[in-house]
Amino acid sequence: MAELFVVRSKIKDAAEGLNVSGDFAVALSARVEALIKDAVRRAKENGRKTAQARDL
């Protein structure tokens, strides 16, 4: 399994009492990674070396 960008215990805490399947963290991590990569691309396109909240 690839490195996760999310913490499983924090996901469970945020799930408001619902059970969370094992593959949920993997899928969420993939989305987070895609968001990061997109933000980095936007920062670079704008000539910056720092990704900022507005890049999300």
Residue 1 pLDDT? 54
Residue 18's φ and ψ, nearest 5 degrees, are -80, 150
- For residue 16, CA distances in Å to 11, 12, 20, 48 come to 9, 8, 10, 38
Tell me which residue range forms the domain holding 51: 8-55
Residue 1 inside a domain? The answer is: no
Residue 13 inside a domain? The answer is: yes
Per the structure, the count of domains in the chain is 1
Residue 3 inside a domain? The answer is: no
- 27's CB contacts (< 8 A; 6+ apart) are none
Residue 2 inside a domain? The answer is: no
Residue 42 inside a domain? The answer is: yes
Q: Are 53 and 39 in contact (CB under 8 A)?
A: no
Amino acid at the residue 28? L
pTM, 2 dp: 0.85
8-44 pLDDT, tens digit each:
999 999 999 999 998 999 999 999 999 999 999 999 9
Residue 22 pLDDT? 86
